[in-house]
Amino acid sequence: MSDKYWKIEKDDNNIAWLHFDTPDSAANLLAQAAIKELDEIIQGFEKELPQAVVILSDKKDSFVFGADIKEFTALDNKEQALAFMHNGHALMNRIEALACPTVSMVHGICLGGGTELSLACDYFIASDHKKTKIGLPEIKLGIHPGYGGTARSIERCGPLAAMNIMLTGRALTARAAKKIKLIDEMVPQRQLKSAAEHYALNAPKRKPLPLLTRLTNSAPLRPLIASQMRKQVASKAKPEHYPAPYTLIDLWQKNAGNKKQMLEKEAVAVAELATTDTARNLVRVFFLQENLKSQGKKVKFDVEHVHVIGGGIMGGDIASWCAIQGYSVTVQDQSPERLAQTIKRAQYSFKKKFKRDRRAIRDANDLLMADHRGAGIHRADIVIEAIFEDAEVKRALYESIEPKMKPDAILATNTSSIKLEDLSSCLQNPGRLVGLHFFNPVALMPLVEIIRGNESDENVVQQALAFAKNIGKLPLAVKSSPGFLVNRILMPYILEAVTMVDEGIAPEVIDKAATDYGMPMGPIELADTVGLDICKSVANILSEALGLPLPDNLKQLSDKKLGKKTGEGFYKYKDGKPVKNKKASYDNPQEVQDRLVMRLINEATACLREGIVEEKDLIDAGVIFGTGFAPFRGGPLEYIRSSGIDNLSKTMDQLQSKFGDRFKKDEGWNNL
């Protein structure tokens, strides 16, 4: 028997402590080899039973991150996937059936397969540390739990709580997990071992679930509850785009009365889901995300203090986001009244983020300071500028602050359209300027574009990437060119949508065509949300640089109709929501969708040709995380690949002959 992943330690009470410690890795993954090794160990215990078994991790602040997703990508067909699932099931069933108490002792991250392993044990206990996070996030990869987690989580917490965590994929704190009875006990980290010992030696009886909770799992009630669940899921994901949540609800509805059957069907369902295009693309998105994170790991950049200049929409939110992430921040604005609003808005952000955790809210408040005179500049390791979008104003500011900055501090601008070279010329040390382009709303948008100006020092670019990653964002290094990556790819798509409104197609039809494709919001509603004035200014810059035709609608903008913020744009807004005409229709919705999508992917191929980012995959990553582009399609370039270049090429040619040269294929198509 090999002991590569697991070490057995027997104590005086004959408790077998099973230490999980994947070699040469910072984290444990429940890979097939680790499953096999553990299975052999448990088989050994079946023959020579210890007093009890406790499973724990030797990794710092993490238990098990989940299954090894790389292994999923190697599954070619359903049969292979099913064999894969069966290995996991065999192990979990063996642990569950072991004739001595079994305890999972969790500290730190415990996700997916880690939670399923813990659920197969008699007792599941966890530290109350803030790094302990427990969840079943498989749905985010286009599958659902496949190592027995569906039946066992429902058995422990009842269907409502268990289905909620599986359908959302969210990770819970130990406190929240205890509240829904997913875990048996939550104790301070220093008491975790003695708590595990207590459970191992005393094997206390678990209380049955309350009658009402058990009733929700009964055959007569299941169809009703399942239909409610389907409705809720449908408001977020269409079954043809994301089948996994619907499969999970069916699995529960049909099999919840019989655990053995549910376990068997679970394996089959996941084997089927794992080989769908959706799952493959969502796994791809997971790796794209890891790729972006790794961009921020190349250098170490210890930031003790952040200074933000401009307390408006962006600067204010960047400052409060940094405080939420635990950084000491000063925020400066020329207007004291504006600054007062900035701090007020930050309070709101802190409450939204931390809810009733008053200690966390207080800590964030302590970290954020209003700084009208800019006293924080002297001690900042990074100064983030987010003032008006005006090159002259920005340059004047830089000239006045540079002498006050620490010699090695970096200066980052949030400009969305000004060339970095036009700004850095006024600096004594132009190499210290880099773009740090956040998206609005800062708290929700995961991507930050790091703009590499012609004069930016490479180390400064790397430090900016590291900073963005350290504040919990996904950093993407982008060449300094008009619109950078995200706005450039998004703008032709939005302009096409506005052109169609000019032609008389209803905004509702256009937005529906986009959401049917899988976009989170239609382009017309998006333009209204961003603000039509902002859209117009970005469109102007891009139209000049790239020769994009501007639709009349956008040229003749009324100050009173700037979108959601003025109560009217393309739509009228009531209580912050667009009033839509449900009856709006058009006889060729497919063409509407093609026009939108083709403009977007054509611009993506142009960005690839121009080397706006360093590698092909980063275009897909940027567009997915910067615009919300349908993740299940894997990104615009992946979409071209999976739909067939010839197919889409034909669509482009047809659109070009009907609508003109804005549909002319970029030369980049030849290199795809």
Catalytic residue numbers read 437
Find the binder of ligand NAI among 50, 101, 146, 310 (CB under 6 A).
310
Residue with smaller CB distance to ligand NAI, 80 or 537: 537
**Residue 304: CB minimum distance to ligand NAI, A:** 22
Count of chain residues binding ligand NAI (CB under 6 A): 24
Q: Is 393 in the site for ligand NAI (CB under 6 A)?
A: yes
Q: What phi and psi values does residue 368 have, to the nearest 5 degrees?
A: -100, 125
**Nearest by Cα to 164 from 233, 64, 224:** 233
Give the range of 23-31, 104-112, 327-335, 546-554 binding ligand NAI by CB under 6 A. Answer: 327-335
Q: Is 613 in the site for ligand NAI (CB under 6 A)?
A: no
- Residues 16/38, Cβ–Cβ less than 8 Å: no
Supply the DSSP symbol for 147: S
Q: What phi and psi values does residue 63 have, to the nearest 5 degrees?
A: -100, -80
Find the binder of ligand NAI among 241, 338, 404, 406 (CB under 6 A).
338
What 3-state class would DSSP assign to 323?
A: helix
**Nearest by Cα to 483 from 411, 390, 554, 418:** 418
Length of the chain equals: 672
Find the binder of ligand NAI among 56, 134, 386, 495 (CB under 6 A).
386
Residue with smaller CB distance to ligand NAI, 312 or 668: 312
C-alpha radius of gyration, the chain, whole number: 27
Q: Is 344 in the site for ligand NAI (CB under 6 A)?
A: no
Find the binder of ligand NAI among 120, 309, 498, 604 (CB under 6 A).
309
CA end-to-end distance (rounded Å), the chain: 49
Residues 6+ apart with CB under 8 A from 371: 307, 330, 331, 332
- Residues 306/381, Cβ–Cβ less than 8 Å: yes
Q: Is 387 in the site for ligand NAI (CB under 6 A)?
A: yes
Q: Is 315 in the site for ligand NAI (CB under 6 A)?
A: yes
Residue with smaller CB distance to ligand NAI, 221 or 393: 393
Find the binder of ligand NAI among 52, 95, 111, 314 (CB under 6 A).
314
Q: For strands 15-20 and 6-10, give the pairing.
A: antiparallel
- Residues 605/672, Cβ–Cβ less than 8 Å: yes
User: Alpha-carbon distance 65 to 115, whole Å?
Assistant: 9
- Tokens describing residue 452: 């590499």
Residues 6+ apart with CB under 8 A from 293: 469, 474
**Residue 116: CB minimum distance to ligand NAI, A:** 41
Site for ligand NAI in 498-517 (CB under 6 A): none
Find the binder of ligand NAI among 39, 264, 389, 422 (CB under 6 A).
389
**Residue 369: CB minimum distance to ligand NAI, A:** 15
Q: What is the per-residue binding string for ligand NAI in 430-469, x denoting contact by CB under 6 A?
A: --------x-x-----------------------------
**Residue 334: CB minimum distance to ligand NAI, A:** 4
Q: Is 332 in the site for ligand NAI (CB under 6 A)?
A: yes
State the Cα angle at 611 between 608 and 613, rounded to 5°.
90
Give me the residues that bind ligand NAI (CB under 6 A), please.
Answer: 309-315, 332-335, 338, 386-389, 393, 397, 414-416, 438, 440, 534
